[in-house]
Structure 1
């Protein structure tokens, strides 16, 4: 469904099976990503946060979480995400650039 761009349908399906996958990093990441793609960052955030609790070094989830915070105009939270990314990968260019931009 996702590959065909059927995000709403994928979201409905995901919600129908969610209670079986509450601790599955990949499921949580995918659900957060779908909400993010559908421009619902407030709904995406809890999924990214839970996904990160199961895989602390998931830079992709952290970056999407950063972008969701930015979409919600939560600059301080975005800064914290960038700092977390840089602890994992000090050379991560996107996080470094974003952190510099947010610090201005």
Structure 2
């Protein structure tokens, strides 16, 4: 059956919620954005975009160790994402694990050999 009007109402609600969270981040309301994001993850735990957002908020708050599980989970769920790998690598670097950091940046270069940020992190 073809849907003429609308579509998946849950998908629309998810998009709306993510936009609201991004607005909070843009206004630097990190604590409110973090609370909204983690609440959202309670109902939709496998959304890689929101996992990335939560990891990014922790990253921006210099809570690198807290950010890593969210980046790792986002990468496990199903897609290879250079942005996630870049921030994950920077968290590892900040925590003093240069091998893991370099591995993240090398993974980026495997699919995007011209990625400037990964190349810069690797001093290439």
TM-score normalised over the length of structure 2: 0.74
Note if contact 2:41-2:47 (Cα within 8 Å) is conserved in structure 1: no
Q: 2 CA distance for matches of 1:55 and 1:99?
A: 26
Q: Which of 9, 20, 37 is matched with 2:60 structurally?
A: 37
Q: Structure 2: 5+ residue runs without aligned partners?
A: 1-23
Q: Hey, what does 1:4 align to over in structure 2? A: 27
Q: Could you say which structure has the greater relative contact order, defined with CA pairs below 8 angstroms and 6 or more residues apart?
A: 1
User: Whose radius of gyration is greater, 1 or 2?
Assistant: 2
Superposition RMSD in Å: 1.5
Name segments (4+ residues, structure 1) moved above 3 Å.
none
- Pairwise CA distance, 1:55: 4.2
Matched, 1:95 2:95: no
